Amino acid sequence: MISNHEIDYRIFGSEMQCVEIELDPEETVMAEPGSFMMMNDGIQMNTIFGDGSQQQGGILGKLMSAGKRMLTGESLFMTAFTNMENGKRTVTFAAPYPGKIIPLDLSRMGNRITCQKDAFLCAAKGVSIGIEFQKKLGTGLFGGEGFIMEKLEGDGMAFVHAGGHVEERQLMPGELLKIDTGCIVAFTKDVEYDIQFVGGIKNTLFGGEGVFFATLRGPGKVWIQSLPISRLAGRIMAYGSVGGRREEGGILGGLGNILDGDGF
């Protein structure tokens, strides 16, 4: 088995973070298109088909790698950043929205992490980025964001991004955590994942939070985000729609619209 490239890193910022990757000569880091922020001179950029872990495996390996990424809604291509100089060079990647960047050393986590399909930011070359199918019927029909997830495999560093505040929980054997599917960022390979139905007609009709939630059963480590991008996007769309100002000022919200010239 070929080991992943060993990269050093530093994370900067608090709410809008970026990660600086230090590359030794000929080291490479793989990143999602659009995550690049800046780099030193001497680093070469290349667009590759797939995730970079099977580039020596022929056209079939490349197609399989790219196909897995397509199923998770990601681009068929990734960008490779390689240090072509004799000394150390750095390249920096930025988070796409407010939240935290989570460093994951796969060699210390059983060589596999399952994460939300839009959470991956960048990783050392050699980390495989595939798909994780949930085989249970309930998960398949009602999992929503959680049905098809990304699987990161290898022995190198990977970086994922989460929205809002991030909480890290260590689950004991048999310990069960119930959570909104969109709030899951990642979990280690021994954690059991499923979807449960919230029974009761009141919950079904008036629950507001939906009638399905995820269950995570230990042992293992899980990362949880307080602001999934889907929730953030939904609030922004609701605010921008007609009548979106009704929350501002309660009863006077309508009067405010009229005074602004929006009521006619």
At residue 84, the pLDDT reads: 96
At residue 264, the pLDDT reads: 45
Q: Hey, where are the domains in the chain?
A: 8-230
Question: Global pTM?
Answer: 0.77
CATH class of 8-230: alpha beta
Tens digit of each residue's pLDDT, the chain (264 residues) = 446 777 899 999 988 899 999 999 999 999 988 899 999 999 999 988 766 665 445 555 555 555 555 555 555 678 999 999 999 999 999 988 889 999 999 999 999 999 988 899 999 998 988 887 665 545 444 444 446 788 899 999 999 999 999 999 999 999 999 988 889 999 999 999 888 766 655 555 555 545 678 889 999 999 999 988 777 676 777 776 655 554 444 444 444 454 445 544
At residue 213, the pLDDT reads: 80
At residue 81, the pLDDT reads: 96
At residue 39, the pLDDT reads: 97
b/e string for 63-94 if b means 16 or more Cβ within 10 A? eebbebbeebebeeebbbbbbeeeeebbbbbb
At residue 147, the pLDDT reads: 62
